[in-house]
Amino acid sequence: MTDTRQIDSVTDAAAARAAAARLAARHGVPALERARLTATLGTRLRQCLAEGGTWRLTLGVRGADSGGGALHAVLEPSPDASSAGEGTRWETTVPLPAADRPGGTGDSDSDSDSDSDSDSDMVPGDDPAALSQALMSADADTALVLDRLAEQEALVAFHRDELHQTNQGVLALHAELDAAGRAQREAFAAERRARNEAENARRRLTFLADASAVLNTSLNHGEIVRRLPELLVPRYAAEVGIWLFDEEDDPHHPMTRPAATVRAARTGRPQYAADHPGGLRGVDDLPPSVLHPDRPLLCVPLLTHRAPLGVLTLSPPGERWDPDDAVMLIELTRRAGIAIDNARRFEHNRDIAETLQRALLTELPTTPGLSLAARYLPATHGMNIGGDWYDAFHRPDGSLITVIGDVTGHGLHAAVMMSQLRTALRAYAVDDGSPGRLLTRLHKFLHRLQPNLYATAVISRFHPDESTLTWAAAGHPPPVLRLPDGRVRTLDAKPGAMLGIPLEQEIADHTEQVAPGSTLTLYTDGLVERRAEGIDPGIERLSAALGSFGPAELDTDLEGAADRILKPLLSDSERDDDVCLLLCHLQG
């Protein structure tokens, strides 16, 4: 069906608009689409009336029988009118519902008169009632469109509120995330600071422990004073000065000292001299030093349990010290003062012990036909003083007694005990007693005097009128005898036990025939014993050294022979024990 209309007035335009609405309603076009069609067509009709002339509107339905048609509208200038406008042709197509048929299922708001007859779509242009009815139908469509628009506006408002709330939630979430991020960054920063502080504390404690070990390994106070600056420079100090009070007369030490150093010596408290407060715990702040105005000075007294020894003056490696580093330096200075004091007391005791031992060592007697040579070397570790001793003296019958012994332990106690044994032996030897008898009496004397102290010894007796050697040993390394022909024998006959042990014993004598040119060697275990190999290899080396001399060397230079024996046996400079050697040579 096609409807063509000529339009040259407002009434014609209104009738055409109403016809398009009725046709769309008849074919089931939804109200929203009808309203859009009539509104668009009305706008185009007003434009056409404004331009003037006669226009032609063609309305029709295409493909309705196939179930998928469309309503087609064409508005163009009328070719039959002499005064036709020159406007642009307008055309639109509105799809029909798939189940559409004339009089079928349209919208419920379709015009009620649309099913009267096929000519009802043709709205007369001069019928006001029909136009009014068409206008009311258009208003109904418009009201429906407005209702739909209101629904959409309500839906938009609802979604707007939801979006606003969502945005607020997103903003709140971002704020929470930002706060959580800041908290996390602060936690990470705090963790880094704590880790750095812990690492610095570990570094300080490690340095303090290592430095303390270095200072306490030496018992030479001069060595400690030398090592202290080496430990501190350049890590914790740029310069280090050490003032020991008893070295005032040393020309290598300056006589003019900073005021902070003198104040630390007088008060016994650490002093910090700088142009800014140090803020160091337990340290007094002072103005900068006149002698060193360009750098801070930390002056720490070297304290001991008795009295201050001196003052340690430090300048920082940078502008100033970290407060914790300063605390560590003060503690290290305290430990250095104790180490220096311990070293000085050790040196004092060592000097006393060495003086005592040197005083107790015997000047060897002169005997016709018999040469004597002795050597004593203290250990290189510890007190450098022990219980090793040698002695040689004449008895009333003209015989010569030689003895070498070793008291267990080191230090003053061992040296004093050695002196008592030496004195007791000389007293016992006044009576006529053999070497074995003398050792037996010494054994009883030591056990009663010092039950927890032990000793070893070898005693030999030479008689100028006899070619015999009588000897006895108590827990001591065996004597070594060199014969005139160069052969060497170890006198390893059964010895007695150590002197002083809780055991009743009678120590036996042993006799050897000796000829002129023979040499008896007495020694302590420090000469032949090594921890890694025992004593037997050392005795073999001693025997080899004795056998290497020519027949006349021992007659002419027994002192030089003693030195040449010691040299190969003591090739290492470090000795854990004292060394004692006594050579007795019968002139050839």
DSSP H or E run through 294: none
Q: For residue 403, which of 378, 445, 435, 367 has the smallest C-alpha distance?
A: 435
Q: With cut-offs at 50, 70 and 90, classify the pLDDT of residue 104.
A: very low
Task: Answer yes or no: is pLDDT of 377 > 90.
Answer: no
Contact 588, 555 (CB under 8 A): yes
- Rounded CA-CA distance 31/139 in Å is 11
Q: With cut-offs at 50, 70 and 90, classify the pLDDT of residue 108.
A: very low
% residues pLDDT > 90 (the chain): 37
Bigger pLDDT: 128 or 187? 187
- Rounded CA-CA distance 387/370 in Å is 27
Instruction: Lay out the sheet containing 468-474: strands in order across.
Output: 386-394, 400-410, 455-462, 468-474, 510-513
For residue 95, whether the previous peptide bond is cis, meaning omega lies within 30 degrees of 0, is: no
Region of poorest pLDDT, from 356-365, 381-390, 470-479? 381-390
Q: Please, what is the Cα angle at 138 between 133 and 139, to 5 degrees?
A: 95
- Rounded CA-CA distance 188/190 in Å is 5
Confidence at residue 532, expressed as pLDDT on a 0 to 100 scale = 74
- Rounded CA-CA distance 269/431 in Å is 66
All structural domains of the chain with their residue ranges = 2-155, 221-355, 362-586
Task: Answer yes or no: is pLDDT of 587 > 70.
Answer: yes
Q: Which two tokens stand for residue 21?
A: 């609405």
Torsion, Cα of 478, 479, 480, 483 (10° steps)? -130
- Rounded CA-CA distance 266/288 in Å is 18
pLDDT 10s digits, 433-488: 899 999 999 999 988 888 788 999 999 999 877 888 999 999 999 999 999 999 99
Most confident of 118-127, 412-421, 454-463: 454-463
Contact 127, 18 (CB under 8 A): no
Within 13 Å of residue 173, how many CA atoms lie on the same side as its CB?
Answer: 6
Query: How many CB atoms are located within 10 Å of the residue 107 CB?
Result: 18
Contact 131, 10 (CB under 8 A): no
Q: With cut-offs at 50, 70 and 90, classify the pLDDT of residue 352.
A: confident
- One-letter amino acid at 529 equals E
Topology adopted by domain 362-586 = Phosphatase 2c; domain 1 (3.60.40)
- Rounded CA-CA distance 27/10 in Å is 26
Average pLDDT over residues 227-241: 91
Within 13 Å of residue 157, how many CA atoms lie on the same side as its CB?
Answer: 6
Confidence at residue 571, expressed as pLDDT on a 0 to 100 scale = 66
299 by Cβ neighbours in 10 Å (0-12 / 13-18 / 19+) ranks as buried
Q: Please, what is the Cα angle at 359 between 577 and 430, to 5 degrees?
A: 100
In this structure, which long-range contacts are made by residues 408-412, counting pairs with CB atoms below 8 Å and at least 24 apart in sequence? Answer: 408/453, 408/454, 408/455, 409/453, 410/379, 410/382, 410/383, 410/385, 410/386, 411/349, 411/353, 411/382, 411/383, 411/385, 411/386, 412/349, 412/352, 412/353, 412/356, 412/383, 412/385
3-state secondary structure 22-77: HHHHHCCCCHHHHHHHHHHHHHHHHHHHHHCCCEEEEEEEECCCCCCCEEEEEEEE
Question: Does the predicted model carry a pTM greater than 0.75?
Answer: no
Task: Answer yes or no: is pLDDT of 113 > 50.
Answer: no
Average pLDDT over residues 34-53: 87
502 by Cβ neighbours in 10 Å (0-12 / 13-18 / 19+) ranks as exposed
Confidence at residue 357, expressed as pLDDT on a 0 to 100 scale = 67
Question: Hey, which residues does 499 pair with through a beta bridge?
Answer: 455
Instruction: Quickly list DSSP for 387-411.
Output: EEEEEEEE-TTS-EEEEEEEEEEES
Phi and psi angles of residue 248, each rounded to the nearest 5 degrees, phi first: -60, -30
Q: Which two tokens stand for residue 510?
A: 């042993």
Q: With cut-offs at 50, 70 and 90, classify the pLDDT of residue 116.
A: very low
Q: For residue 58, which of 102, 91, 100 has the smallest C-alpha distance?
A: 91
pLDDT 10s digits, 125-175: 556 776 666 666 777 777 777 788 888 888 999 998 999 999 998 999 999
Confidence at residue 27, expressed as pLDDT on a 0 to 100 scale = 87
Q: With cut-offs at 50, 70 and 90, classify the pLDDT of residue 191.
A: very high
Which of 3.40.50.720, 3.40.190.10, 1.20.1050.10, 3.30.450.40 is the CATH number of 221-355?
Answer: 3.30.450.40
Tokens 């801070």 belong to 296
Task: Answer yes or no: is pLDDT of 574 > 70.
Answer: no
Bigger pLDDT: 484 or 534? 484
Confidence at residue 253, expressed as pLDDT on a 0 to 100 scale = 58
State in Å, rounded, how far the first CA of the chain is from the last one.
166
Confidence at residue 12, expressed as pLDDT on a 0 to 100 scale = 86
The CA-atom distances, in angstroms, between 142 and each of 21, 24, 39, 97 are 12, 15, 9, 20
- Rounded CA-CA distance 260/314 in Å is 11
Tokens 């812990």 belong to 198
% residues pLDDT > 70 (the chain): 86
Query: How many CB atoms are located within 10 Å of the residue 350 CB?
Result: 18
3-state secondary structure 427-495: HHHCCCCCHHHHHHHHHHHHHHHCCCCCEEEEEEEECCCCCEEEEEEECCCCCEEECCCCCEEECCCCC
pLDDT 10s digits, 280-321: 888 999 998 888 888 899 999 998 877 789 999 999 988 888
Task: Answer yes or no: is pLDDT of 31 > 90.
Answer: no
Task: Answer yes or no: is pLDDT of 97 > 60.
Answer: yes
- Rounded CA-CA distance 509/496 in Å is 10
Task: Answer yes or no: is pLDDT of 251 > 70.
Answer: no
Q: Produce one character per residue of 233-242: b if its CB has 16 or more CB atoms within 10 Å, e if not.
A: eeebbebbbb
Q: For residue 106, which of 19, 32, 202, 36 has the smallest C-alpha distance?
A: 32
Average pLDDT over residues 188-216: 91
Interhelix angle for 412-429 vs 435-449, to 10°?
Answer: 140
